[in-house]
Amino acid sequence: MSDQAILVAGGGGFIGGHLVKNLRERGFSRIRCVDIKPFDEWYQVFDDVENIQADLKKADNCHVACDGIGEVYNLAADMGGMGFIENNKALCMLSVLINTHLLQAAREAGVDRYFYASSACVYNADKQKSEDVVPLREEDAYPAMPEDGYGWEKLFSERMCRHFREDFGLTTRVARFHNVYGPHGTWEGGREKAPAAICRKVINAKINGLDEIEIWGDGRQTRSFMYIDDCILGIDKIIHSDITEPLNLGSDELTTILGLAEMVEEIAGVKLKHNHNLSAPKGVNGRNSDNTKITEYLGWAPGIRLRDGMEKTYDWIYDEYVKKYGKASKAG
């Protein structure tokens, strides 16, 4: 298996970097890693991997990337947290070019298997209006009313994978990610997601002696968050399964944003006031993963506790914060 040539599209990103690291540790030696970002902006870089900086929205680059490849993992997309995707809908939609051109290139290159990273943002917004959310089942994506911009691109790209499988025989697998978090991710700058953003805010308050942090929305909105190790294991299980339909890949441990903030404060050993910014983007009111199908089909589902994952994430962001903004003694 380790002789298989693998392409990780978006390999300079958060999930892509962890996937490349995992593939190397499992003995794969022919890994091609492609990302649009300059190398010094990649989250993890491995010298024993073929690293290419290229824009995969361009068809020619996709054909070069897929040449001689056995498995494609398409994690490439222009995306970020809620603050980014609500204000950059056109940029998010343009990622459809990546999946379209990669599918065409993969078909022509005779690729064995093709994995597409979709998102829980494909789900019908009407089913996410209440904080007391019923976990989202795979069939809840239709009738379609996904997150505007980003969610529509993901849902369309899912259909592209389905039709390339049905019409051309390309083996495609799709996972709908639910809020992936962990070390080596974005933690500032506007593209970070809630777990990292809250860690940064709490760390900033702790180091600088502040007594409050800003929370987007009223804090009652509910989410589940999947630790990166569960995500990487799930990707491997799904791409090598016989399941042709999109599958949820997420934790079903539900929390409120306020509960997440209080958890991070407890990890940090501080208690802070919460300044609620009600005009900030907060996304849907409730979203959770229904793991019935993945458990039934694969005999497995993401299970790393949120508290355990957040402790590791907090520790990594703390170190990164201190490296960037100044030395501080870590206590508690």
- Residue 45 corresponds to which tokens in the numbers above? 């870089």
Tens digits of residue pLDDT in 237-281: 999 999 999 999 999 999 999 999 999 999 999 999 999 999 877
Q: At 74, give phi and psi (nearest 5°).
A: -95, 100
Tens digits of residue pLDDT in 271-325: 999 999 998 776 778 789 999 999 999 999 999 999 999 999 999 999 999 999 9
> Which active-site residues does the annotation give?
150
Buried b (16+ CB within 10 A) or exposed e, 11-26: bbbbbbbbbbebbeee
pTM above 0.85, yes or no: yes
The beta strands (E) that lie in 40-187 are given as 50-53, 71-74, 113-119, 171-177, 180-181
CA distance 29 to 130: 47
- Residue 197 corresponds to which tokens in the numbers above? 């953003």
330 pLDDT tier (thresholds 50, 70, 90): very low
Inter-CA distances, 9 with 49, 92, 268, 312, 322, Å? 13, 16, 35, 26, 31
- Residue 51 corresponds to which tokens in the numbers above? 């690293």
2 pLDDT tier (thresholds 50, 70, 90): low
Half-sphere exposure in the Cβ direction for 88 (13 Å, CA): 15
- Measured torsion, CA atoms of residues 45, 48, 49, 50, in degrees rounded to the nearest 10: 110
Inter-CA distances, 193 with 7, 19, 41, 277, Å? 26, 19, 18, 16
Strand ranges across the sheet with 247-249 = 50-53, 31-35, 6-9, 71-74, 113-119, 171-177, 247-249
What is the mean predicted confidence (pLDDT) over 2-24?
A: 95
For residue 83, is pLDDT > 90? no
Q: What pLDDT is recorded for position 331? A: 36
Q: What pLDDT is recorded for position 282? A: 67
Inter-CA distances, 184 with 169, 235, 255, 317, Å? 36, 18, 23, 8
CA distance 263 to 255: 10
Q: What pLDDT is recorded for position 327? A: 66
What is the mean predicted confidence (pLDDT) over 69-89?
A: 81
Three-class DSSP category at 154: helix
DSSP 136: B
Question: What does pLDDT average to over the chain?
Answer: 92
What is the mean predicted confidence (pLDDT) over 205-227?
A: 93
